[in-house]
Amino acid sequence: MEYGNLRSSPLLRAMVTRDQRKISIVAALVRADERARACQSRERQAELLDLRTGLYFEALCWAIDCNFMAGFSFLLPKMSSENFFLRVNVDGDSLLHCTLRVTQDDYLKTLVQALASHSEKVSIMQATNIRKETPLDIAIQQGLVEKTAILLHSGANPTQQHLRIAKER
């Protein structure tokens, strides 16, 4: 647990503090994390892999919430797509769900591109959050036309209820 506490607080604060969120801060923290990881034994690295992945995943979600594209673009390649598509954050949302909370479409487009070659694409697009909503549910309910179109074009399967709500809007 000490690993997560030491690494997460400054990393997340660097992204949240709007007037000081600089990619150089995030990059320095990630490089320090990578150097520390390289000094650990393989067994210790394996023990901490899930915690480290969770930290990077939460940092990706925070980058989206703070509209910090530079941090998002820097952190995304640090994780395998297997890790970031199959996880949920502390609020119970996947990265796709998080992208629907911000007005920019770039985060969603980036994730959809990364998802294109994923073996579990359909199940990931249909995954529900803690409130049992798929990303398409949220996009349609909130009237997010562009994001709805991106999700549909990327393989999200609309239900009859989705079609009915979309028609009403």
Per residue in 63-74, pLDDT (tens digit) is 898 888 988 999
94 closest CA partner among 83, 110, 105, 103: 83
Rounded to two decimals, the pTM is 0.79
Q: Residue 89: what are its φ and ψ, rounded to 5°? A: -85, -175
- Largest Cα span, the chain: 58
In this predicted structure, the answer to whether residue 40 has a pLDDT above a threshold of 50 is yes
Mean pLDDT of 4-32: 65
In this predicted structure, the answer to whether residue 96 has a pLDDT above a threshold of 90 is yes
**161 contact partners, CB below 8 Å, separation of at least 6:** none
Per-residue pLDDT band for 27 (boundaries 50, 70, 90) equals confident
- CA atoms 140, 132, 134, 98: torsion sign: positive
> Of 8 and 134, which is predicted with more confidence?
134
Rounded CA separation 56/7 (Å): 10
What is the token pair recorded at 116? Answer: 């294109």
By the 10 Å C-beta count (0-12 exposed, 13-18 middle, 19+ buried), 103 is classed as exposed
Per-residue pLDDT band for 1 (boundaries 50, 70, 90) equals very low
Rounded CA separation 140/149 (Å): 10
> Of 119 and 83, which is predicted with more confidence?
119
Q: Cα-Cα-Cα-Cα dihedral of 135, 139, 142, 144, to 10°?
A: 150
What is the token pair recorded at 56? Answer: 């990077």
Q: Are 71 and 26 in contact (CB under 8 A)?
A: yes
What is the structure's pLDDT at 139?
93
What is the structure's pLDDT at 158?
87
Mean pLDDT of the chain: 84
Rounded CA separation 155/28 (Å): 37
Question: What is the three-class DSSP state of 157?
Answer: coil
What is the token pair recorded at 109? Answer: 């487009």
